[in-house]
Amino acid sequence: MILTYLRDLLVDFPARAELIADEIRERKPDLVGLQEVALWRTGPLGDPAPATEVRYDYLALLMAELAESDHPYDVVVVRDEADLEAPAGAPYLRDVRLTMRDVILVRHGGRVTVSGTSSGNFVNNLVFPLVATGGTATSTRGWTAVDAVLGGRTFRFVNTHLEAFHPGVRLLQAQELLRGPLSVPGRLILVGDLNSGPELPDPNNRLAYLALVAGGMVDTWPILHPGDPGYTAGLGDDLTEPADDVEHRIDMVLVRGTVVPVASEVFGTQRRTPAGRWASDHLGHQAVLALP
């Protein structure tokens, strides 16, 4: 079984959606985990009601690109995460609202049958001050999951994006995963941007990863690529950094139970948009797993 995940940033997505769709079509994964799938909306400047006019729906753009292939995908679970709104000055003079979502796709008519879905937001989230208003905003994070069957074998596939800017909150979120969607018996597969890894320079940024491993999750990359750092981040905020600038392995495929890693790769520097941007600031991560 092939599992991939790709994350998303806020630059030139209509062009980037074509690149991401090409990467998915080439690999034909059974399941895809997506993080930070943005929904941009606008409304009248200063209107206290939430903005509702859709400007860019990254999920709709990606699904439209995938629909053109011979192997379309179905959206099986979506979870809203951070939902932030602020005024934009001249020349826009509009309120701008950004909603981040975590999403799981399943290959339409493929080998995997979904028997159930679930999702949730973490109780522990980073709250940060808004100096301009004197208020606060919450960086809401969470997870999505599907219970599925492949060849008569059942498993749970969990997709997550842990907090990027606070190692203590990130650790608490990893512990919530272990008590929540990862607490079931049987085969488990966890994918996502963990913002944590075993070799990160700051030991505090290793804590969430170490908690998941201590909870029984097995990191598939070092099993298949011993000695290979497998860097996945980052290609810069404007997605134009040199391909060899990636550093840090924080995008993971972890498993538990009778799940055998067969092959894996990181990818995402094979093509750019016409403006010279990469598909994402992180590389994609594909894993082929056997369910004995």
Per the CB < 8 A criterion, the answer to whether 92 and 144 are in contact is no
Structure tokens at 44: 């009248």
Most distant pair of Cα atoms in the chain: their distance: 59
Q: How far is it, in rounded angstroms, from Cα 118 to Cα 158?
A: 9
**Which pLDDT does position 132 carry in this prediction?**
62
Q: How many domains does the chain have?
A: 1
Q: How far is it, in rounded angstroms, from Cα 48 to Cα 44?
A: 9
Q: Please state whether 151 falls in left (phi above 0), alpha (psi between -120 and 50) or beta.
A: left
Q: How far is it, in rounded angstroms, from Cα 291 to Cα 289?
A: 7
Per the CB < 8 A criterion, the answer to whether 216 and 200 are in contact is no
In a structure prediction context, what are the per-residue pLDDT tens digits for the chain, which is 292 residues long?
A: 333 333 344 578 889 999 999 999 999 999 999 999 999 999 999 899 999 999 999 999 999 999 987 779 999 999 999 999 888 877 778 898 999 999 999 999 999 999 999 999 999 999 988 776 677 889 999 999 999 999 999 999 999 999 999 999 999 999 999 999 999 999 999 999 999 999 999 999 999 999 999 999 999 999 999 999 999 998 888 888 898 889 999 999 999 999 999 999 999 999 999 989 988 889 999 999 999 9
Report how far apart, in Å, the C-alpha atoms of 25 and of each of 42, 69, 109 are: 32, 7, 14
pTM summary value: 0.93
Structural domain boundaries enclosing 269: 2-290
**Which pLDDT does position 53 carry in this prediction?**
95
**Which pLDDT does position 133 carry in this prediction?**
66
Q: Can you name the residues that pair with 40 across neighbouring β-strands?
A: 56, 98
Secondary structure class of 258 (helix, strand, coil): coil
What pLDDT, in 10s, does the model give residues 76-86?
999 999 999 88
| CATH at 184 | 3.60.10.10
DSSP summary character for residue 134? T
What pLDDT, in 10s, does the model give residues 244-260?
889 999 999 999 999 99
Sign of CA dihedral 279, 280, 283, 285: negative
Reported in sequence order, the residue ranges of the chain that DSSP labels E, i.e. its strands, are 2-7, 31-35, 39-44, 53-57, 73-88, 94-107, 112-121, 126-130, 135-139, 142-150, 153-161, 188-193, 218-219, 251-256, 260-267, 284-290
What pLDDT, in 10s, does the model give residues 159-213?
999 999 999 999 999 999 999 999 999 999 999 999 999 999 999 999 999 999 9
**Which pLDDT does position 238 carry in this prediction?**
84
